[in-house]
Amino acid sequence: MKQIYFLCTGNSCRSQMAEGFAKKLFGDQWRVASAGIEAHGLNPNAVRVMAEKGIDIGKNKSKVIDVDYLNSSDLVVTLCGDARDRCPVTPATVAKQHWPLKDPALAQGTAAEILTVFRQVRDQIELRILDLAKQ
């Protein structure tokens, strides 16, 4: 079974959304997980916008990188420059992709404006996961 790992800084938004989409779209063909350089807790706005897509990530936990999982992955996807730059070195057998996505947790404005940013990032992640699923 193939294994994928989604990484971002705090494992609170982007990597959690990517994990949710991948688990839904990849089914039993892939082992899917996410983590962060640090654990910042699950962002409730990420949970809310994923629920709009019929994906429940509300029980997910914010986790730090598991080096054993990282080194045994077939593909590691970083979703921010911080994770890309601070990710531990992996064996040459681990493929890497970098998706430089805006951090929705940094969005400012009204609650509606912040949710709009979360939805935009969510939709970008969904498109990238759909592309991966086609490969």
Residues labelled catalytic: 8, 80, 87
- Rounded distance, CA 45 to CA 22, Å? 19
Residues in the chain: 135
Could you tell me if 131 and 24 are in contact, meaning their C-beta atoms sit under 8 angstroms apart? no
Is the CB of residue 14 less than 8 Å from the CB of residue 50? no
Asked if residue 79 lies in contact with residue 15, where contact means CB atoms within 8 angstroms, the answer is yes
